[in-house]
Structure 1
């Protein structure tokens, strides 16, 4: 089942690459819709009551090194699979005009990225995971460098250098796992074998660092985040969605799957530093986002703050925090994807990514304004929308870990309200900004229609400019995301039914951490006892 799930978009990518360009979009969308159907079928087959890996496949690949072609999913894996197969067709439908210069290349790389991302989330052999982990960089590099605005080439190189650097550190730890498992009797890269391996304290900590650094670059986490804003600023909105909402989830996925799963002692040893970096990411990402004028760069930096919340939930070592982090991974993917895509709609209409060159659009494009508002409110964690549940669980776990951690982390919610609401205000309310359009500017304007007689031609043109609102296709594309934000905001249980068993098994069985029972102060007697 999982092999078919991976092969369908991969074969689709090959078809799109060699078939006529005129059919590239429709074929790619059809393939991604078929992959969505397979992903839903896999989820239906998944037993939420079983904590073990399911839908498993295992074939010996390189026997002398203990390498297997091994696939399987648990609650974490199936959630990431569902997120990937939902996001991909949404991005293709929403960005129907993206990649106009070379549609075959654009959609082929998009399907290849989906296939490799699914392989990452399904791999249960560390060596196989590393191979597909690195392979995701190929389509990502060409999508960033080949499509977008001026400066995308430099952004793609920066993205690649950071990711390759993290991958090389990860490779050293992957080799180290072979040595450790071979010394224990028989080399193996199977996750089930490595989870049972008795690794010495020193070796475990060094190997953990290699995995963690690679995942901190991918996630991203401060201070290894500087590629993020440049990439989202220069790439197309659709590519940014795939990078931030799907590919970057590999970082936090790996922290749960490998850092905590294989190196529980080293993960606890590193917790004070990681928690501090997570809190810094939350606050720093939000503060830097406030000062941005480029809307795509701003949305990218919000994800630095959100990934700080996810990492914090993982490393406070409670089932509540882990469940909140997993839920956050899903909800962040949904909410941020909606924000990027609606921003892309506006950019195509205004011809600019600069917030300062927008303004007063609320009455001109009320549907787009409403979509942006819902996506923005989800991003800032408004109660009733799905990200709120995730943040609430993570913050509860953070306060339980240490009051100072929760106190600093909660400021991220306040700052989120600032950067989201201020962005909305500058784009949709206030005076209109724009350039003179001879078709709409009336040279004989006399100010009797409510506009000032002394207004400049540019100001009048901006106010009278006709901008088309969201089309039926654009609304249809983001509608599933909007429905999910509201539905899971009021009823998150379907997601928690998948996340909770995995979190409980990981923390209680693998890490050996038991949640402290809730305590209620005993009533005092008259004697004060």
Structure 2
């Protein structure tokens, strides 16, 4: 292999996880510092990856390829393009934030918690970078184990139920995907080459019925992870019972595995089946947008409200992906990043006040701007980011998704726009009840504001919300070549040439990002 940067990025957290286990149990501070150090090193390595990334090509970069199980055509192949780059950066950005927040949040079995957290980071990074389908599946399954234990050991009162439900949903759907992978490789083997390399599997000759069944198997695994309506029922339980750090990683990164899987594998591998399924996917996406927003509006629990908002927000991502044009897909990728930041920050803020009051019931709060002015200010910015206020990151992704989907399905776009309105209503109403009004409970009057550690955790997220809101150009220009190449692969060269609008051109006309 000519370079090993991607391997170093993927495996550094796992090395850190193993070293954390060597820390004596009576020295939890050593485990915390070791976990933070390795997560920060991984972040720095990913920033070096971005610095060396070429934006003038759609090809995979920093590719590493070597034989793993050559008799079965299985290889160790890693590569990054404009689609996966920012998801890698999102993962390495959120992990040290979660580690630092967990310094005060996790007080039992500390080293085991950080072991699973760093192991989870390796699984997520590997899944985003793997170009061999078998290797991707290994990383995909690797993620389940640490998240199962994070929820099941450090979660709330119903943690066992929530962790088992999470495991059963995701594992069952994943096994169907494994069967589909093996079948696809078997069909491709008729050409005389046995390989799991997804770059070679693109364009495999499949009959219409074969495509539909294989697409369905892949789509089921990814739809559960997104999660799409009606496969979302595991998510509220997992979020409510998970510790704050687990909720941040689950919402911020793991849900993106589903949308990334659609974009990298299900859609380009089975383009004809994808076109056949598009009306159904768009309908489910719109239902998810409206259903998630409507259910979030009536939630009395802060964490469950944020969990259902994820169902609505990820419905927008699916709407952008299945617009199958550059504008919609780039908007969807951008919205994946936005959701990771805004919803991750919301879970952190819920964790902050839960740590002080040991309740998440909205009715137990009110008037928090008086004792917690810094908390209220950060909460305001994060809430406005979540509802897509112009000038913050959420607006750009939603605007591009609606722009991309408008020419494909105007009815779906109109319904999704209604979902935006409902989303703004429940977020503003939640903020009003928690932050404004009189102090209804005496306990709230004596709460202490954000600590220096909490400010250090939240400040980078708020800064990125502003940067991505006012200057999206560098992000969009980096992902554009890869997205256009993917659209060309799925729709054919004529559709790619006929496409007259790209997000960069839209930004140039409107002045966004300048």
Which residue of 2 is the match for residue 501 of structure 1?
481
Which residue of 2 is the match for residue 477 of structure 1?
457
Report deviation, 1:185: 2.1
- The answer on whether the counterparts of 1:149 and 1:236 sit within 8 Å (CA) in structure 2 is yes
Q: Which of 357, 365, 371 is the aligned partner of 2:364?
A: 357
- The answer on whether the counterparts of 2:137 and 2:178 sit within 8 Å (CA) in structure 1 is yes
Which residue of 2 is the match for residue 377 of structure 1?
384
Which residue of 2 is the match for residue 419 of structure 1?
426
Instruction: Figure out how many residues of one structure are paired with residues of the other and give that number.
Output: 491
Higher share of residues assigned helix: 2
Which residue of 2 is the match for residue 171 of structure 1?
178
Report deviation, 1:487: 0.9
Q: 1:399 to 1:510 in 2, by over 3 A?
A: closer
- The answer on whether the counterparts of 2:185 and 2:201 sit within 8 Å (CA) in structure 1 is no
Which residue of 1 is the match for residue 511 of structure 2?
none
Which residue of 1 is the match for residue 133 of structure 2?
126
Which residue of 1 is the match for residue 7 of structure 2?
3
For structure 2, the residue ranges without an aligned partner over 5 or more in a row are 502-514
Measured in 1, the distance between the counterparts of 2:106 and 2:468 equals 33
- The answer on whether the counterparts of 1:260 and 1:511 sit within 8 Å (CA) in structure 2 is no
Which residue of 2 is the match for residue 273 of structure 1?
280
Secondary structure at the residue paired with 1:401? coil
Measured in 2, the distance between the counterparts of 1:223 and 1:71 equals 33
Give the 5 Å matches for 1:108-507. Answer: 108-434=115-441, 461-462=442-443, 465-507=445-487
Q: 1:516 to 1:504 in 2, by over 3 A?
A: closer
- The answer on whether the counterparts of 1:84 and 1:117 sit within 8 Å (CA) in structure 2 is yes
Which residue of 2 is the match for residue 48 of structure 1?
55
Report deviation, 1:462: 4.1
- The answer on whether the counterparts of 2:268 and 2:489 sit within 8 Å (CA) in structure 1 is no
Report deviation, 1:221: 0.4
Secondary structure at the residue paired with 2:299? coil
Secondary structure at the residue paired with 1:96? helix
- The answer on whether the counterparts of 2:57 and 2:482 sit within 8 Å (CA) in structure 1 is no
Q: Which of 12, 23, 42 is the aligned partner of 2:16?
A: 12
Secondary structure at the residue paired with 1:433? coil
Report deviation, 1:308: 0.4
Measured in 2, the distance between the counterparts of 1:517 and 1:112 equals 43
1:297-349 per-residue CA deviation (whole Å, 9 max, x = no partner) reads: 11111010011000110011111101101111111111111111111111111
Secondary structure at the residue paired with 2:105? coil
For structure 1, the residue ranges without an aligned partner over 5 or more in a row are 435-460, 519-529
1:242-268 per-residue CA deviation (whole Å, 9 max, x = no partner) reads: 011111111000100001221111111
Report deviation, 1:198: 2.1
Which structure has the larger Rg?
Answer: 1
Measured in 2, the distance between the counterparts of 1:170 and 1:125 equals 14
Measured in 2, the distance between the counterparts of 1:110 and 1:201 equals 42
- The answer on whether the counterparts of 1:123 and 1:129 sit within 8 Å (CA) in structure 2 is yes
1:222-257 per-residue CA deviation (whole Å, 9 max, x = no partner) reads: 000000111111111211010111111110001000
**Most deviating of 209-218 and 61-70:** 61-70
Which residue of 2 is the match for residue 83 of structure 1?
90
